[in-house]
């Protein structure tokens, strides 16, 4: 069924270009994005029937000598001898960076000149952020951005236009109506941007592609479940999947389900309501830099060496014995067992029993594994200290400055990322204020839509340090309500 794209002709979007964008996204972008998520999440993947042990996603990066024929499901006796060790050193580094950025709430500060207007705008933005998920939204945003390299914030304000009247005082009514606006995360596997050919930073439209389960089952594949169980067969029924494509431009919004137009509405904002966030800036590219991508080859090397070491330990941990010239003892079909208290006798003067094996020290192997871990520390700027792993060589951390020096790389990367995520949050807040103005809920001028993001101190502080900082801010002239709010006392109430 052809798409009805006449409203988007002004930006050059026709059916041929749309299908090209969808094909390129599915064939080129999705496999790379799925690989990034697989290495971060390292989920259990379904193995072929008879393939033996359960496999993890990161096993795909092991050399064939370790994977053997496990992927094909064929019977290979050597597979039982191969030890596979997967240690996911990527996930905890991603989580440490997310916790450092959004472990505590951030503050959205209005740059309006009038103090009363600033307070009202901040309250409205806080209501929208809370209704959209609050801290969970911010943490998910940082996680998806770190894995995929970029993430988009979509401001949905459809429910705010034409909404019924709310009760209460004017500002209370505005807050209640503002809660109908949502900030939605659009992760990279669903986002297909249509960029201006002359400027890669200018977004002409956003295509959001989602495959969701429908309400029915696949036709012609229904075998009664009880009959299938009695016959030892699997039921071939499965839920029908529906492809949903949403096209959002500055003037129009279309929603298609399996190619059929199911929703068409104008965009009252007059701009594409998307705030794009690069995890780490990448010049001349719409997408940013992922935290996972540079760690993949090092993760594969680490898993390979850990698997080799496990195999060596398994083969050499226990002593083995070679008996010579004791054939006269073989009175039965089985040779004599070696065990405590076992006495052997033979008439052969050349008989001997030799012991060999036992785990030996391998300093080169341990050094190589340690060097791979250090390389991952450098590539990610996240050391084990961030996860609470204390080693002897870090010295005596007697002060906050010493801890900052130890975590300098991670703090520097966090400050760099705060610039990108802070700018994206400011753009999303400006879009929310524009939506409130367009819907007639809360009028603002262009100059009043500037929003500044205040980040909490990344390193933990004691209660005494927080109180001393609050007293210094009060002496500098910061409003008492603001100081109490930062301390967590409800903005001066109570």
Per-residue model confidence as pLDDT tens digits over 195-248: 999 888 899 999 999 988 766 666 554 555 555 555 555 555 566 789 999 999
- pLDDT in the model for residue 185: 96
Please report, to the nearest 10 degrees, the dihedral formed by the alpha carbons of residues 331, 337, 341, 347 taken in order.
40
- pLDDT in the model for residue 75: 45
Mention every residue, 6+ apart, whose C-beta is less than 8 A from residue 9.
none
* Distance in angstroms (rounded) separating the CA atoms of residues 180 and 441: 11
Q: What are phi and psi of 287, to 5 degrees?
A: -80, 150
Mean pLDDT within 399-426:
83
- List the structure tokens of 129: 């952020």
- pLDDT in the model for residue 287: 93
Mean pLDDT within 360-364:
77
- pLDDT in the model for residue 53: 65
- pLDDT in the model for residue 168: 52
Instruction: Check pLDDT > 90 for residue 22.
Output: yes
Instruction: Check pLDDT > 60 for residue 164.
Output: no
* Distance in angstroms (rounded) separating the CA atoms of residues 166 and 171: 11
| Residue 251: Cβ within 10 Å count | 17
Of the segments 5-14, 141-150, 282-291, which one has the largest average pLDDT value? 141-150
With vertex at residue 58, the alpha carbon angle to CA 56 and CA 60, rounded to the nearest 5 degrees, is: 95
pLDDT band for 80, please (50, 70, 90 cuts): low
Instruction: Check pLDDT > 50 for residue 494.
Output: no
DSSP E strand boundaries for 55-175:
55-56, 107-110, 150-156
E strand or H helix that includes residue 193: strand 191-196
pTM, full prediction: 0.82
| Residue 326: Cβ within 10 Å count | 16
Mean pLDDT within 405-412:
79
pLDDT band for 493, please (50, 70, 90 cuts): very low
* Distance in angstroms (rounded) separating the CA atoms of residues 241 and 263: 19
């Amino acid at each position: 069924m052809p798409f009805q794209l006449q409203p988007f002709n002004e930006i050059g979007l026709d059916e041929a270009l749309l299908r090209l964008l969808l094909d390129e996204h599915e064939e080129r972008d999705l496999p790379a994005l799925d690989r990034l998520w697989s290495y971060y999440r390292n989920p259990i993947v379904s193995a072929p029937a008879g393939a033996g042990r359960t496999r993890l996603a990161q096993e795909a990066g092991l050399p064939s000598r370790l994977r053997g024929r496990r992927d094909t499901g064929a019977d290979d006796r050597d597979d039982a001898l191969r030890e596979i060790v997967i240690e996911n050193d990527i996930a905890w580094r991603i989580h440490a960076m997310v916790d450092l950025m959004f472990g505590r709430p951030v503050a959205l500060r209005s740059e309006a000149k009038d103090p009363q207007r600033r307070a009202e705008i901040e309250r409205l933005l806080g209501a929208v952020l809370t209704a959209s998920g609050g801290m969970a939204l911010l943490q998910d945003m940082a996680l998806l951005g770190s894995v995929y390299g970029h993430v988009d914030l979509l401001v949905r304000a459809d429910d705010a236009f034409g909404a019924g009247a709310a009760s209460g005082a004017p500002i209370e009514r505005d807050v209640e109506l503002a809660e109908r606006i949502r900030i939605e995360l659009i992760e990279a596997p669903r986002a297909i941007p249509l960029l201006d050919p002359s400027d890669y930073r200018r977004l002409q439209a956003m295509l959001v592609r989602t495959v969701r389960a429908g309400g029915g089952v696949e036709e012609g594949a229904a075998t009664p479940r009880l009959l299938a169980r009695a016959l030892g067969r699997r039921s071939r029924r499965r839920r029908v999947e529906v492809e949903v494509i949403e096209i959002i431009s500055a003037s129009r919004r279309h929603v298609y389900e399996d190619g059929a137009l199911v929703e068409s509405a104008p965009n009252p904002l007059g701009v594409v309501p998307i705030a794009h966030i690069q995890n780490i800036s990448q010049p001349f590219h719409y997408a940013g830099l992922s935290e996972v991508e540079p760690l993949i080859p090092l993760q594969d090397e680490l898993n390979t060496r850990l698997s080799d070491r496990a195999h060596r330990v398994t083969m050499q941990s226990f002593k083995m014995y070679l008996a010579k010239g004791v054939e006269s003892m073989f009175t039965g079909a089985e040779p004599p067992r070696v065990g405590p208290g076992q006495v052997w006798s033979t008439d052969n003067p050349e008989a001997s029993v030799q012991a060999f094996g036992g785990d030996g020290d391998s300093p080169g192997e341990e050094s190589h594994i340690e060097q791979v871990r250090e390389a991952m520390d450098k590539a990610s700027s996240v050391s084990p200290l961030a996860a609470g792993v204390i080693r002897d060589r870090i010295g005596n951390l007697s002060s906050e400055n010493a801890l900052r020096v130890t975590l300098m790389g991670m703090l520097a990367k966090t400050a760099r990322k705060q610039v990108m995520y802070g700018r994206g949050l400011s753009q999303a807040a400006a879009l929310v204020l524009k939506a409130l103005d367009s819907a007639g809920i809360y009028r603002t001028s262009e100059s009043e839509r500037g929003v500044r993001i205040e980040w909490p101190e990344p390193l933990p502080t004691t209660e005494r340090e927080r109180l001393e900082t609050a007293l210094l801010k009060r002496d500098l002239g910061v409003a008492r309500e603001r100081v109490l709010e930062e301390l967590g006392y409800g903005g001066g109430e109570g």
